[in-house]
Chains A and B, each alone.
Chain A
């Protein structure tokens, strides 16, 4: 209900404001142009974030100090802590970074955002920035119409900056005129009460405008023309810092649980920082005055002093919160939990997909890789139980002959039912997410996406083939004919070994182990070719198995061959190729088909 009336109320309020005050109209137009500039800037940065930005992010956030530095630098460049926090949520949602790294970036973003105050206070109000805005807009728009994506991106950035400067110009003009009509300083309330009221106004203004930068510009311009007192401006800046978390909160709504935790961390951090600043406001003012004197800011230059205050109180906030990052993570994990895990036997669904992960090609790919691994986990369970093997035995160091002797259950596992519960839904979601991601991807990523889709299809095929294989495997594993039993045990042992090898491939960090296991698995597939290795011929010729058994064995060997081939191909894509260091090494060192043939021929000759 509240949601429905919020927008019309704001629109009516604005329309009324425009009607009664042309100055209010100018200020609002300035804010609108400023925000439009930010949208354009965001669009421009998105062009350059197709790969380079993500790679930098990955490497720059592995330590807390690095992530704080990264957040500070990127926010200084982008001039939007909201954009950086939303970006961070999208990376977190895709599992590219952890919650503590995300929190580090948010801390850094709060430091980086202070450069905005310096820019506006130091440059924005002293230089006639509208003079720079016009050429930027003209050049920017011309570049936007160019074909090259990079040039287009630069165009958006220039246009964005142009609009930002133009917006500041209009706001400044509006406040200059406003000064003669209404004296905001008459509303000033002194003391702690005044601080709380103005901090609240700062929160409200930032929530409405969705930009602490815009609020800060308003504060500095209002302060520069004497509409508000210095103390009120400080309280407004504190409020703006808390209000800016609204963008991250909105951004986290479509994100996964970690994204929500990050947004909560952002709110906690900014609220604590604001609380400290309000509590120690007089001490802070002394520090600001001292710092301003040291760096040569005039005593009456309140705009620049506000920038100093903004920087100091954010720095203090970061310094106070750093020792509590781990505790904050634990607190968030305990308080913001995923909805009750579905019952063991219920339908499984995707874990890593969310709208924010779709924002960038690399985050989409990471999310798909993670979800593919999730799908494989389920497939591994179904295949193992379908073959009546215990998962724990397969991944142990137990002798494979013993693994196949120990049965999982006396009852036959219904693979169809398992498929519907644990594969079908997730696979559908993966395909759906991939299709959405593909529409936003440059060609370079599409090839990789195609391979991932193929790997998921391999998983599904392997489960389906296990279903076909299961019936005879269960039947002949208990057969009184020792020859056919031996052949089916061989198939079962081969598949158990393959599942074990894939588990090694998925978990090892040793390149030599990975290469060896991968090559061995490829060689072992060929042993299912019963016609080529003469086994079937031998069994039939010596009347060791019936015709029916022979046909079943031939078909089931083909199923085992397909399962192995599909699973190895899948493992290469999601467990090896997804790791850039291993991918190249695998390509350089992999054993070719001819070499596998020569190895097998050698064995036959022995």
Chain B
């Protein structure tokens, strides 16, 4: 038996494939939490800030965070459906 095949069979025997999946799920959940916290901070700053340049930057940051949250949620859904 080839070495890599042997490793794969050991991994499947120990259920390590699912372990990888659940680790990935956990890291995405953690990331989503952090992004949501960042989004809240950016939204609050946007409400209190009146400097036009800074507001534009905050707006841009907010949009990027929103896109990443959307991506993260989609990825999480995909992982759960697998």
Contacts and interface: CB of A to CB of B under 8 A. Distances in A.
Contacts of B27: 511, 581, 585
A603 B7 CA distance: 51
B8 interface: no
Interface stretch (A18-26, A385-393, A515-523): A515-523
A5 interface: no
A595 B75 contact: no
Given A52-B7, A589-B31, A599-B63, A519 B75 contact: no
Interface string A247-269: 00000000000000000000000
Contact of A523 (B35, B64, B72): B64
Interface in A20-74: 48, 52
A291 interface: no
Interface residues of A, number: 24
Contacts of A588: 28, 71, 75
Given A48-B3, A511-B27, A511-B34, A516 B68 contact: yes
Contact of B64 (A52, A153, A599): A599
B68 A519 contact: yes
B50 to A, nearest CB: 16
Contacts of A602: 63
Interface in A507-537: 510-512, 515-516, 519-520, 523
Contacts of B28: 585, 588
A148 interface: yes
B72 to A, nearest CB: 6
Contacts of A523: 60, 64
Contact of A511 (B31, B56, B60): B31
A591 B31 contact: no
A520 B64 contact: yes
Interface in A107-165: 148, 150-151, 153
A148 B4 CA distance: 12
Contacts of B30: 511
Interface residues of B, number: 23
A595 B67 contact: yes
B31 A516 contact: no
Contact of B68 (A48, A148, A153, A515): A515
Contacts of B65: 516
Contacts of B60: 520, 523, 599, 603
Interface string A586-604: 0011010001000100110
B68 to A, nearest CB: 6
B3 A519 contact: no
A133 B52 CA distance: 82
Contacts of B3: 48, 52, 150, 153
A148 B2 contact: yes
A148 B61 CA distance: 52
B11 interface: no
B26 to A, nearest CB: 12
A458 B64 CA distance: 26
B40 interface: no
A581 B56 CA distance: 32
Nearest to A522: B64
Interface in B49-82: 56, 60-61, 63-65, 67-68, 71-72, 75
B67 to A, nearest CB: 6
Nearest to A524: B60
A585 B27 CA distance: 9
Contacts of B4: 150
B72 A589 contact: yes
Interface string B1-19: 0111001000000000000
B22 to A, nearest CB: 14
Contacts of A603: 56, 60
A510 B34 contact: yes
Nearest to B3: A150
Interface of A: 48, 52, 148, 150-151, 153, 510-512, 515-516, 519-520, 523, 581, 584-585, 588-589, 591, 595, 599, 602-603
Given A52-B7, A591-B68, 13 more contacts: A150-B4, A512-B35, A515-B31, A516-B68, A584-B24, A585-B28, A585-B31, A588-B28, A588-B75, A589-B75, A591-B64, A595-B67, A599-B63
Among all A-B residue pairs, the 4 with the closest Cβ atoms: A512-B34, A150-B3, A519-B64, A511-B31
11 contacts: A48-B3, A52-B3, A148-B2, A511-B34, A516-B38, A516-B65, A520-B60, A585-B31, A589-B31, A591-B67, A591-B68
Interface of B: 2-4, 7, 24, 27-28, 30-31, 34-35, 38, 56, 60-61, 63-65, 67-68, 71-72, 75
